[in-house]
Amino acid sequence: MISRMTDQSAPDMPTPEFSASLLDQVFRLWIEPAIAENGAELVRSDVVKALVVMAPLDAPTVYLNDDAGLIAHARAARSIDAGQEVTLDDISSIEGLVPSDIDPNAAWVALAKIGEEIVVAFDFRRNRQTATSLLQRATEFVAAAESSLEREYLGPAIENGFAAAELTVKAEMFLIDDRPTQIHHERVTWWSEWEKLGNAPPGAAEVLQRLYVERGASRYGDGPISMSAEDVHIALDSVAAMIDLAKKRQATAAWVNR
């Protein structure tokens, strides 16, 4: 069993040891407990399909064999006409494995035995649909900020820029936390740590912090705005880069192990 990413920008393939360890963990953490709980008389070799669905704020649900709805993406070994019967001999390789119908916000792990190959695919990111919606809203806010800046309305430009940045942070948080904080300064702190881990563009945390500090003046008129038009322009470019990277991170393909 070998491992790779389904997307062409993938790093080097994991080792066979990693693949074997992953398969063992899938059985140990989810499949074997589900078999024991249901009282089924199954051994590992009896499991030809499995799907573990981890919906937000819910315990994992395990589906085995015929109950596991999966779609395999395969590369054909020959030309195949529509409606023609396909056998294992007609498949040269398995390119991917995905659930057929689950909550779009759910994380998942899928396993299928296809011929002599065992394919394991997973995507542990929860709330992807929610995050996608947040990033779309962030894109709209940054456009509104740029429009305000063109009119030299620095206050609305800063406020909308901060909203776009914070929505991006919230989208990233939702991928690993079903109930991310709703407190502004806690999001700012979290984003600083996220950048240190290499998950945000360099300087993005400083930009978010500055936009946050400027909110009192930009939105509430608590004092003069200290940012110049050029400062705001640079900040909005950084926010746009944050959004772009977040979108790419969410679109990354799940691991496929064979």
Tell me, what CATH number does 190's domain have?
1.20.120.330
Segment 147-203, tens digit of pLDDT: 999 999 999 999 999 999 999 999 999 999 999 999 999 999 999 999 999 999 999
Question: What does the pLDDT profile of the chain (258 residues) look like in tens digits?
Answer: 433 333 333 445 567 788 788 889 999 999 999 999 988 788 888 999 999 999 999 999 999 999 999 988 878 878 877 777 777 777 777 778 899 989 999 999 999 988 878 888 888 899 999 999 999 999 999 999 999 999 999 999 999 999 999 999 999 999 999 999 999 999 999 999 999 999 999 999 999 999 999 999 999 999 999 999 999 999 999 999 999 999 988 876 555 555
Q: Could you tell me if residue 47 is inside a domain?
A: yes
* In a domain? residue 257: no
In this structure, the answer to whether residues 114 and 161 fall within a common structural domain is no
pLDDT of residue 251: 75
* Bridge partners (DSSP) listed for residue 50: 64, 111
Total number of domains in the chain: 2
| Side-chain-facing half-sphere of 73: CA atoms under 13 Å | 9
pLDDT of residue 231: 98
Spatial contact of 130 and 140, defined as CB atoms under 8 Å apart: no
**Is 258 part of any domain?**
no
- Which of 68, 94, 124 is where one domain is finished? 124
Q: What is the pTM of this model?
A: 0.81
Q: Are 104 and 63 contained in the same domain? A: yes
User: Do 212 and 194 have their domain in common?
Assistant: yes
Please check whether residues 80 and 187 belong to one and the same domain: no
Distance, CA of 159 to CA of 258 (rounded, Å) = 49
Residue 143's pLDDT is 98
- 140 in the same domain as 95: no
CA-angle at 183, arms to 177 and 186, nearest 5°: 75
Q: Which structure tokens are listed for 134? A: 């947040």
Residues with Cβ within 8 Å of 232's Cβ and at least 6 positions away in sequence, in order, are 145, 149, 154, 157, 158, 161
Considering the domain architecture, whether residues 101 and 210 belong to the same structural domain is answered as no
pLDDT at position 95: 78
Sign of the CA dihedral running 18, 23, 26, 32: negative
User: Do 178 and 227 have their domain in common?
Assistant: yes
Structural domain range at position 164: 128-251
Spatial CA neighbour of 248 closest among 145, 171, 140:
171
Residue after which a domain boundary falls, among 103, 124, 145 = 124
